[in-house]
Amino acid sequence: MLDDLILPDAILNDCWTRLVAAVGDKQSPFHTPAVAIGDERAGATVRTVILRRADSARRALVFHTDRRSPKFASLNNEHKAAWLFYDPSARLQLRLQTSTTLHTTDAVAHEQWIAAPEFTRAMYSATMAPGTPLSAPPDAPTVRLNDGRDNFAVVNCVVGEIDWLLLRREGHRRLRFTFIGDQMTSTWLAP
């Protein structure tokens, strides 16, 4: 139970356990977090993504995007993203600051493309870039196994900071983890 967690190492372990479990659990509120990206040209934008991978050993989170999207362009300029996870039943919020690496033609992108379900790959075979104005709703794309491959990108995010907030009637608890290289520090914060 979260109320019993008071040691930073146990809290950090719980964070990663939830993130890793959310990858395969479509019912988990952590499966579809919000990701914010700042860009001098576009300003700050926020969108919901699907958490495709979580790796505690590498402190990595992964999502996919279309190379033609404004999101890809912003990440290509800034290489930073902020994540927001919220579980209403646990009353737990995680805010993560990450540095990003884009993968388009390498083994990482190929592995994720092959692992993606057909309906996911179909989204990348759309003839128009995300955000293109249309006069009517588009038809569903037909699945053409590799037609969308050139549009597919993997965004690998390395966590530099986790801000953990547990909302409780008895008093909220907040703890920040900061990572520099292999070193981790934790600091209790006023909620």
Backbone Cα Rg of the chain? 18
Residue with tokens 């053409």: 144
168-188 pLDDT, tens digit per residue, is 988 999 999 999 988 999 999
Whether pTM exceeds 0.95? no
Q: What is the DSSP letter of 124?
A: T
Q: Is the sign of the CA dihedral 77, 75, 180, 105 positive or negative? A: negative
Please spell the DSSP secondary structure of 33-69, one letter per residue: -EEEE--TTT--EEEE----EEETTTTEEEEEEETTS
Task: Please tell me the distance from the alpha carbon of residue 177 to that of residue 7, in angstroms, as a whole number.
Answer: 12
The pLDDT tens digits of the residues spanning 16-49 come to 999 999 999 999 999 999 999 987 776 789 999 9
Pairwise CA distance, residues 116 & 48, whole Å: 18
- The domains of the chain are located at 2-131+138-163
Confidence of residue 78 (pLDDT cuts 50, 70, 90): confident
**pLDDT at 173 (0 to 100):** 95
The 10 Å CB-count burial string (b at 16+, else e) for 137-176 is eeeebeeeeebbbebbbbbbbebeebbbbbbeeeeebebb
What is the per-residue pLDDT across 117-172, written as a single tens digit (0 to 9) for each? 888 888 898 888 888 888 888 777 665 656 889 999 999 999 999 999 999 988 99
Place 1 in a pLDDT band, splitting at 50, 70 and 90: low
Beta partners for residue 103, in sequence order: 154
Which band of pLDDT confidence, cut at 50, 70 and 90, is reported for residue 4?
confident
What 140-147 contacts at long range (C-beta under 8 Å, 24+ apart), as own/partner pairs, is 143/118, 143/119, 145/118, 145/121
Q: 45-56, pLDDT tens digit by residue?
A: 999 999 999 999
CATH 2.30.110.10: does it fit domain 2-131+138-163? Answer: yes
Tell me, what's the pLDDT at 121? 87
What pLDDT score was predicted for residue 123? 86
Give the CA-trace dihedral at 95, 101, 106, 110, to 10 degrees: 20
Q: What is the pLDDT confidence band of residue 3, given thresholds at 50, 70 and 90? A: low
